[in-house]
Amino acid sequence: MTGKTLFEKVWERNLVRDEAPDSPAILHVGLHLIHEVTSPQAFQVLAERGLKVRRPDLTLATIDHSVPTLPADTEGRLPYATPAAENQVATLRTNCSVHGIELLDLDDPRRGIVHMVGPELGRTHPGSVVVCGDSHTSTHGAFGALAFGIGTTEVGHVLASQALFQRKPKTLRVMFKGETAPGVTAKDMALAVIARLGMDGGTGYVLEYAGDAVRALSMEGRMTLCNLSIEAGARAGMVAPDETTFDYLRGRPGVPDDWQAAVASWSELYSDHDAAFDHEITIDAAAIAPMVTYGVSPHEAVPVTAQVPDATDANASAALDYMGLAGGADLSAIAVNRVFVGSCTNGRIEDMRQVADLLRGKRVADHVRMLVVPGSAAVKQQAEDEGLDKIFLQAGAEWREPGCSMCIAMNGDKGDPGEVVVSTSNRNFRGRQGEGVRTILASPSTAAASAVVGRLADPRSIEVTA
Amino acid sequence: MKPFGQVTSKTVAVPTTNVDTDQIIPARFLTTTDRDGLGDAAFRDWRFDQDGNSLDHPINAINPDTHAILVAGDNFGCGSSREHAAWALDAFGVRAVISTSFGDIFKSNALKNGLLPVEVDEATLDLLMKEPNRELTIDLEEEEIRFGNHVVAFATEPFARRCLLQGSDPLTVLLDAVPDIETFEREHGRAS
Ligand code: SF4
């Protein structure tokens, strides 16, 4: 008998009812995260049907997408982009209070981007199913959870039942061979995977990231890696839990009461040596360089030291047109207008530290506007405790309140048409950071290096002052 | 749920690949708390420039009465999980989208909103791309599309198909399973 994959073990642990030809499986949801953008219509359905939230205790709400990252004015009013954005936040507040759901409100020191708060509070558990009306829910897979994004109708399903219809996906192992070179981050590993798989190479699969280079990553790095799984079409990405995972979770408020038993049970979550995957790819970790995107989809990524690839079809040349780039041009010649550091991809403390390392004692180039937005209030506090905010401010960057900010540009933080933005977020889609904005995805180090140089820059070329 | 049996209409062809849900509905329209009224936001930045002037784009031909079938390049609906994309397409007048592949979450969302994602092989898509504005019938009962003397089979997840044909709501079926969910929670130490 062949062994089981990590995914299969987690799937089985949460299976209420197995799938049949004419009906999908029913999975139990261990943690349902909600936010202001994709939940109001789900609560509406509950109201229309007279339904209650079945397990408010397994539901956690936060406010992240629509909130301003600028502080309140002297009268305490936040500078919302539109009245609709403010109304959306108020609607979530009402829905949470009606249904008894814990809400991390704007003044809560635990608030943050939805994929930051689950792990920070110890609510994301290995071996459980985590869902949220947000495609980057895959982030939580870093803990060995099966975590994926759902639509609003399904948000309603989970609110009403704490379960979900689901067809069993296929498995794909991404095996990193060897160690990454200095200056290469989890973001670069992720972009290398997406470039390799293509934008839909992961569709229908759950990815498992494995190999020494993954084991060597901190939880922050693993979250970055899993976060980007969706950009290759995969709904979920997973890393088998280990001591790094348990060390991160130990002592956090939301972990199980019986810690010993929990760790014993979580320790069984790994792919057996003889487990069979539906597909497997191998990536040479040592060959990965700092990666940047040049097109309008995350898979259009190459090493920062490379040239813009020539367009091979109409779609690729439309992408280059949008970006204002020509095939064969040096990426390092691209002038940068803005730099954004933040998001659920790279808004964690480790990311802030990497940026601070590159900005310490330096100035952001005169023509560049740099925004640093912590992913959560906890990250903001930690960064300030370490004095990182001072480094950002002294370098001429802005230091903001936590939120999604320019990752989705629906709170008023955005670029102007035609601007080039180097961003640590996850999507370089047309218009994602503002109408006509040209986004280049990169790691925090590459973003910071580019801010200093004023052009797209290799972080390894910048001298770091201690 | 909005049922889907069959639709006969003309096609609108957009060869762009990887049409992400940010293109289908830009994020600035996501501050709504309703499902309705998103038709104007559909493909907004393809249809209008930054000053609100109309742009020339094949997508403008969509019309619920005459041109309700969108033929799109590979991997349609990738990216964000926003169900607003399905709501916007529906309100804009699209009844079905034909492509070689779809973003996972978009497909799941579309099926829950009476909007049919139809997966065909590359040769069929090429044929439909080359000749837009062609009348065809999409028949979910038979799981085939018919045009000229072509009949092309497609597959839809059986449970979603049944719900669409009957116009029945999957939530009702899920709620019927609550006793099993309760048993599961008791047996796995997850009761509240
Ligand atoms: S930071 Fe970006 S990707 Fe993450 S939850 Fe917010 S909008 Fe979504």
ipTM of the complex: 0.96
State how far the alpha carbon of A8 is from the alpha carbons of A229, A268, A276, A285, A463, in Å: 18, 12, 10, 26, 46
Q: Which of A38, A117, A134, A346 to mutate to test the pocket of ligand 1 (most atoms within 8 A of CB)?
A: A134
Q: Give contacts of B 134-173 with A, CB under 8 A.
A: 157-159, 162, 170-171, 173
What distance in Å separates the CA atoms of residue A263 and residue A212, rounded to the nearest whole number? 22
Cα→Cα distances A226→A56, A94, A139, A187, A407, Å: 27, 32, 5, 10, 17
Q: What are the residues facing A159 on neighbouring strands?
A: none
Could you tell me which of A26, A48, A291 has the C-alpha nearest to residue A161?
A26
Which residues touch A128 (CB under 8 Å, ≥6 apart)? A10, A13, A14, A30, A31, A145, A146
Place of tokens 């290096």: A449
A165–B170 C-beta distance less than 8 A: yes
A191 in Cβ contact with A293 (< 8 Å): yes
DSSP A155-178: HHHHHHHSEEEEPPPEEEEEEEES
pLDDT at site A316: 95
B4-42 residue pLDDT tens: 999 999 999 999 999 999 999 999 999 999 999 999 999
Q: What's the rounded Cα separation, in Å, for the pair A350 and A85?
A: 30
**Which amino acid, B174?**
L
pLDDT surpasses 90 at B192: no
Cβ distance B152 to B122 under 8 Å? no
Question: What pLDDT does residue A311 have?
Answer: 96
Q: How far, in whole angstroms, is CA A266 from its chain's centroid?
A: 23
Tell me, yes or no, if A297 comes closer than 8 A to chain B by beta carbon: yes
Q: Enumerate the residues of chain B whose CB falls inside 8 A of the CB of residue A51.
A: 175
Contact A410 B15 (CB under 8 A): no
Section B60-69 average pLDDT: 98
Q: What contacts A355, CB < 8 A, 6 or more positions away?
A: A341, A372, A388, A392, A444, A445, A447, A448
* A466 token code pair: 């201690």
Whether B22 and A151 lie within 8 Å, measured CB to CB: no
- What is d(CA A121, CA A105) in angstroms, rounded to the nearest whole number? 15
Tell the residue number behind the tokens 């069993």, with chain if given. A168
Sign of CA dihedral A214, A220, A225, A230: positive
B17-38 burial string, b = 16+ CB within 10 Å, else e? bbbbbbbbbbbbbbbbbebeeb
Residue pLDDT, tens place only, A326-370: 999 999 999 999 999 999 999 999 999 999 999 999 999 999 999
A285: phi then psi, degrees, rounded to nearest 5: -60, -35
Q: Do A135 and B79 touch (CB under 8 A)?
A: yes
DSSP per position, A116-136: HHHHHTT---TTSEEEESSGG
Q: Which atom of ligand 1 is nearest to the CA of A115?
A: 5
CA distances from A394 to A140, A352, A456 (A): 34, 15, 21
> Which of B33, B44, B89, B159 to mutate against chain A (most A CBs within 10 Å)?
B33
* Integer CA distances (angstroms), B126 to B13, B58, B72, B142, B152, in order: 10, 17, 10, 23, 13
Whether residue A431 lies within 8 A of chain B, CB to CB, comes out as yes
Both tokens of A119, joined, read 């792990």
Residues of A in contact with B35 (CB under 8 A): 41, 44
* Both tokens assigned to A15: 């299976």
pLDDT of residue A1: 65
> Does any CB of chain B come closer than 8 Å to the CB of residue A47?
no
Q: Are B128 and B98 in contact (CB under 8 A)?
A: yes
C-beta separation of A402 from A69 below 8 A: yes
- Chain B interface includes A407 (CB < 8 A): no
Measured between its terminal Cα atoms, the distance across chain B in Å is 31
Q: Report yes or no: A168 at the B interface, CB cutoff 8 Å.
A: no
Q: What is the crossing angle of helices B104-111 and A152-161, to 10°? A: 70
Sheet of A279-284: strands edge to edge?
Answer: A236-238, A205-210, A170-177, A279-284
Q: Which residues contact B59 (CB under 8 A, 6 or more apart)?
A: B12, B14, B43, B46, B47, B70
First to last CA, chain A: 55
pLDDT at residue A404 in the model: 96
CA distance B45 to chain A (A): 8
- The answer to whether A403 and A69 are in contact (CB under 8 A) is yes
Please count the other Cβ atoms lying within 10 Å of the Cβ belonging to residue A251: 9
B120 contacts B141 by C-beta, under 8 angstroms: no
Map residue B183 onto helix, strand or coil: helix
> Region B92-118: what's the mean pLDDT?
97
Q: What is the pLDDT of residues A295-314, one digit of tens each?
A: 999 999 999 999 999 999 99
| A27 contacts A147 by C-beta, under 8 angstroms | no
Q: Which residues of B touch A133 (CB under 8 A)?
A: 81, 83
Structure tokens at A303: 């090493």
Tokens describing residue A372: 């640093």
The answer to whether A282 contacts chain B (CB < 8 Å) is no
A134 part of contact set with chain B, CB < 8 Å: yes
Closest to A122 (Cα-Cα) out of A31, A225, A54, A39: A31
Tell me the C-alpha to C-alpha distance, in Å, between residue B155 and each of A57, A222, B146. Answer: 39, 36, 14
CB-ligand 1 contact for A358 (6 Å cutoff): no
Q: Distance from the CA of A136 to the center of ligand 1, in angstroms?
A: 7
The residues that bridge with A423 in the sheet, in sequence order, are A340, A441
Query: Quick check: helix, strand or coil at residue A23?
Result: strand
What average pLDDT does this structure show over B177-184?
Answer: 98
To the nearest whole Å, the CA of A388 is away from the closest chain B CA by 31
What parts of chain A have a pLDDT lower than 50? none
